[in-house]
Amino acid sequence: MQDNKKDNVGNESEINDSVENQEFSAEEVKETTETALDPIQKLEAELAEMKDKYLRLYSEFENFRRRTSKEKMDLVKTAGEDVMISVLPILDDFERALKAISNDESTKAIREGIELIYNKTSKTLQSKGLVKMEAVGKTFDSDLHEAITQIAVTDAKQKGKVVDEVESGYFLGDKVIRFAKVVIGA
């Protein structure tokens, strides 16, 4: 067993002597270093490319998530738009009925019943985001009003302003769902 240890010690010294006696040229050292660094550089370049792809994909996903969230919010805000538009003629009929019914004692109960239904309906729609446009006395705005006709006015301040409202306009949130049909002073 001791002979084996001596043989191993002898082998180690021979290996050390052979390594010490070998001389490596500068080109061989450089080539060995480059080949060792080359895979590392490739991996670093791949890693950088993957990070870039990840960041782009992440930001694209965030934009998609924000956009779909905004679209959902808009859809929720205006989900009842068709229903609101279809109910507006009923509100108009209530308003016409209230104007047509006189205030005498014989029709007082009917008027109160119509007012009660009209108020309840309009408050329910207002709670869902429906807002009535105020047009009379305002300057004509083609983004909000639809001009039915023009009438001559004696007051110069009335020119270009809404003199009368034939049909009310409405907003649902910030969106105009029905333009006010108006008469303009000329």
Residues 156 and 120 in one domain: yes
Backbone angles phi, psi at 174, to 5 degrees: -100, -5
Residues 60 and 94 in one domain: no
CA distance 129 to 172: 5
Number of folded domains that form the chain? 2
Q: Which residue segment(s) compose the domain that 127 sits in?
A: 81-185
CA distance 85 to 87: 5
Instruction: Supply the pTM of this predicted model.
Output: 0.56
Judged by average pLDDT, the poorest of 17-26, 30-39, 55-64, 88-97 is 17-26
Q: Kindly tell me if the per-residue pLDDT of 60 is higher than 90.
A: yes
The CATH number of residue 150's host domain is: 2.30.22.10
Residue-wise pLDDT tens digits, 95-150:
888 888 877 788 888 888 889 999 999 999 888 888 888 888 888 888 888 888 88
Residues 59 and 86 in one domain: no
pLDDT confidence of residue 53: 94
Residues 97 and 178 in one domain: yes
**What is the full DSSP assignment across 127-166?**
HTTEEE---TTSBP-TTTEEEEEEE--SSGGGBTBEEEEE
pLDDT higher for 173 or 131? 131
Domain boundary among 17, 44, 77: 77
Residue 167 inside a domain? The answer is yes
Residues 90 and 67 in one domain: no
Residues 168 and 119 in one domain: yes
Residues 94 and 55 in one domain: no
**Maximum pairwise Cα distance, the chain:** 134
Residue 169 burial class via C-beta count within 10 angstroms: exposed 0-12, middle 13-18, buried 19 and up: buried
- 47 confidence band (pLDDT: 50, 70, 90): very high
Residues 180 and 134 in one domain: yes
Q: Kindly tell me if the per-residue pLDDT of 9 is higher than 80.
A: no
Average pLDDT of every residue of the chain:
80
pLDDT confidence of residue 54: 93
Residue-wise pLDDT tens digits, 75-94:
877 677 888 888 899 999 98
Residues 53 and 133 in one domain: no
